[in-house]
Structure formats: C-alpha cells, structure tokens
Amino acid sequence: MSYTFTRSQELFQRAQGSIAAGVNSGIRKMEAPVPLYFTRGKGPNLWDVDGNHYLDFQLGQGALLYGHAPEGMADALAAQARLGTHWAAQCELEIEVAERIQRMIPSAELVRFNNSATEVVTAAFRLARAHTGRPLILRFEGHYHGWADEGLVGFANPMDRWGDDETPAQLHPSKGVIPEVLEKFVVVQWNDVAHLRRRVDQFKGQIAAIVFEPALCNTCCIEPVEGLMATIRELCDRDGMLMISDETITGFRFGASCAQGYYGYHPDLTILGKAVGGGTPFAALAGTKAAMAKILSGEVVHAGTLNGNPLCLAGSKWCLDQILALGSEHPRASQALGNHLMAALSELGAKHGIPLRPQGPGLIFHTVMLKPGAAEGPVRNYRDYVRRHDAPRWAHLRRCLLEEGVRAIERGLWSISLAHTRADIDEALVRCTRAFARHASTWVRPA
C-alpha cells in the first residue's frame, strides 16, 4: 500500500492564503511531499485527513512520551477546563507539579514554569549572567536551544563558513538577529574534552555558563563521550560557571531523573519542555537554590501571563504521575523496544544494500544514512554528521516510510513512547520492510 495525500495538499494550498508560508513553525515545511494535516491520534497511532494511518515515531517532536490522547490526561484536562483555563494567579496544582519535579530530579531544588522551552532558555541565560556578572555563554555546535536569538548561535553552521575546528563560528541561521548577540557566545565542538578545556581557558573569567543537550538529539543522536559531563561539572566548579542541562528532549524520556540521572551528573540549572507537559504548552526551569537566587531576590525578571496555567498544570501532573508510577521500569521498557527497532532497521538496511546506521540510546535514536564512501563508526559531533550523513537519500527513504504509514521526525530522529508495544514495533517493521524495498528499487541521486 502506498499512501496519497490529496486532502493535505488541498488544505496546504488553502493555508497559503491565511497562514504565512502555510505553517506555524518553519520546520514543518520539511515534511514531503506536503506538510500533513491530522485529524486524530491514539497511543502510537495517528490518522491524517486522507484517512492514512501512521505508526508515529515523530510524536509531536518528542513531546508525546505518553502517546497520543491518553485517556487519563484527556479526563484531567477536561475536568480542569470546566473549572477554569487561566487565572494568571496561584493554584495548588502548581505546587503539586513543582513538588513532583523536585522529587524526581535531585538538582531541582526550586522550579519556575513557562509555556515553551525557548522562554526557559532565555530565563536560564539571564540568570547565569546575573549570577556570575559575566557576559558569555559557552555552547556546543549543532545543539538547539530554542528559536530565539540566543538559542540558535552555532546551531546550523554551514560547512563553507563554519571556521576551523578549534574556533567554530558564531553564526545564526536567521536574519534579523541582534548582531551583538552573536558575540556573547563561545561555540565549541561536542565530545572533545581537551578542546573544551582549551576554549574555557581562552575565555577564563568571562563565561557565565556552559549549556548543552546531554544527548545531542537535535543533530543526529549523539551521546556524550565518557568523562564529558564530569569535565563540564569540574570546569564549572573550578571557574564559578553554571552548568545548564537542556533536557527539553531528554527530560523524563531518559527516566524519572532525566538524562542527568541516566548519565550521572548534577547541573545547576535544568531546562524542561516537551514531556513535562505531554503535548500541552508547558515548560519549566529547575535549579539549585543557589542558582535560582537572583529570581528569589527579584534581581532577575522572570514573567509570563500564562505561566503556571492550570490547564497545562493538570496535564503535567497526570504525565509526571505516569513516570512516578512506572518506577524503575522506565526507561528500561521503552529502551528495549527502541533497541529492537534499531537492530531490525540495521538488518533491513543491510538486506537491501541501504547504508543506514541507527544511532542513539534506544529511547530515542537517529537513522544516519551514510554518504557513498563515508567512514563507518558512530557519528561524534556536528561536523562529523554534516560530512557523513546523506540527507537527500534519507529524505527519499523517509518519504517511502511515510507512504507506508511509518512516521519519523523529518530529519531522521525516532522517539519511542510509553504507549508503543512490541506489536506496534513489529507492525511498523512490516511496513518498513515494504518501504525499504521500494526505496532500494527507486532511489536515484538527484542530479
């Protein structure tokens, strides 16, 4: 079976008349052959306006750790909606959610809520600068920290302008950015401990914080090398910088104590998004009392009309209760499913002569498509990925997968939800078998 997308095409055409470029987040335009329009989701299943059914591994860009439309969450949201959707004031629910986060994440001594992780990143950087009285943030090339001016410096450096390996360029993929913002970042390559030490020493006394995605999920899916987290902690302690763990993707996916529990480190500030709200617009800044001090004193402004919105809080409370109830079963169960899927995709690739190399810790992983002649072995950092990943060939396979009813994130990231079962993975693999065969027989490199 190969899907058609006529109704999505019609709606996308119509949307051009009222929505700028037809989508509400630029990345959604990447979906080929057309940005899809959905009607319904349930667990790992998703249906579009053409009646096509997908086994979903895109999962709302990873936010739907609990799957689509879980009954309990729907009930919690509906019950809250009847009581009120917004007060811009306090309610007991916000304490209940904060206490759950505190219980699960040892470094979360205090929290503050926002509605997107982009906002939380802004707050964390402001707090770090106020805390240290220093101007610079050290960040890693290819890591994504939201779409604001400060979040994207060095995220998508193009190869012809990315600078030498020792001094990655502070480029921003958007026009319209305040130019001085670029100068406030030191960009460093991921997974090179000696290089990180040299860069920190080069700017000694000027760096307020080191920020990172603990597993680099926004460029491939690249776990930290042994010793990297310990080195970041050591350097932050030595030089009085704050360690900021951006757990927007890894938070609660990697277990109740997030990636910081999974890899064993203790940050000063943590950025939580996506799974903390399970698909509601909810995000949190968590940190030690010391790191949050300037919010307590009122010297750092942190605000937002919809912060601690009761609807999001009701959703979040339900989500966090699922994680708490799973105990040590999470993330083991979803990791086992993901590992099985990764191994089966590798086998399918080998069978069809497709150089596909799934990479990641199973809970989430990336399907690297090797360019002709590219070296084997795990991708280590952003530059390695850009040099070795065959984006056009992956895009072709991704479209074949979509047309057989398997949906991964456009750039090649797959997330496993707590709603996926072994039967869902097996069904997805039946569909993948068809998609791989079709890709192998129809793939032609564009001229």
Residues forming contacts to ligand PLP in the complex (CB under 6 A) are: 61, 116-118, 121, 144-146, 213, 218, 246, 248-249, 273, 283
Q: How far is the CB of 388 from ligand PLP (least distance, A)?
A: 22
Query: What does the block give as tokens for 412?
Result: 């090649």
Q: How far is it, in rounded angstroms, from Cα 441 to Cα 82?
A: 54
CA distances for 63 relative to 153, 249, 265, 385, 446, angstroms: 24, 8, 23, 24, 34
Whichever of 253 and 383 has its CB closer to ligand PLP, that residue is 253
CA 336, distance to chain mean position in Å, is 20
Q: How far is the CB of 57 from ligand PLP (least distance, A)?
A: 16
3-state SS, residue 389: strand
Q: How far is it, in rounded angstroms, from Cα 130 to Cα 40?
A: 45
Q: How far is it, in rounded angstroms, from Cα 316 to Cα 91?
A: 14
Q: How far is the CB of 64 from ligand PLP (least distance, A)?
A: 13
Ramachandran angles phi, psi of 12, nearest 5°: -65, -40
Contact indicator for 183, 170 with CB cutoff of 8 Å:
yes
Contact indicator for 195, 166 with CB cutoff of 8 Å:
yes
Q: How far is the CB of 25 from ligand PLP (least distance, A)?
A: 8
Whichever of 220 and 370 has its CB closer to ligand PLP, that residue is 220
Q: How far is the CB of 183 from ligand PLP (least distance, A)?
A: 22
Whichever of 272 and 370 has its CB closer to ligand PLP, that residue is 272
- Burial profile 221-246: b = 16 or more Cβ within 10 angstroms, e = fewer: bbbbeeebbebbbebbeebebbbbbb
Whichever of 248 and 367 has its CB closer to ligand PLP, that residue is 248
Beta strand pairing status for 45-48 and 38-42? antiparallel
Contact indicator for 312, 277 with CB cutoff of 8 Å:
yes
Q: How far is it, in rounded angstroms, from Cα 408 to Cα 435?
A: 13
Query: What does the block give as tokens for 215?
Result: 């597993």
Query: How many Cβ atoms sit within 10 Å of the Cβ of residue 447?
Result: 3
Q: How far is the CB of 222 from ligand PLP (least distance, A)?
A: 13
Q: How far is the CB of 442 from ligand PLP (least distance, A)?
A: 32
Q: What is the CA radius of gyration of the chain?
A: 22
* Tokens 């936010």 found at: 63
Helix (H) / strand (E) containing 54? strand 53-56
Whichever of 385 and 436 has its CB closer to ligand PLP, that residue is 385
Q: How far is the CB of 146 from ligand PLP (least distance, A)?
A: 4
Ramachandran angles phi, psi of 346, nearest 5°: -60, -45
Q: How far is the CB of 440 from ligand PLP (least distance, A)?
A: 32
Whichever of 52 and 116 has its CB closer to ligand PLP, that residue is 116
Please name the amino acid found at residue 384.
Answer: D
3-state SS, residue 123: helix
Query: How many Cβ atoms sit within 10 Å of the Cβ of residue 331?
Result: 24
Whichever of 246 and 403 has its CB closer to ligand PLP, that residue is 246
Ramachandran angles phi, psi of 9, nearest 5°: -60, -45
For 92, residues 6+ apart whose C-beta sits below 8 A from its C-beta are none
Q: How far is it, in rounded angstroms, from Cα 338 to Cα 349?
A: 16
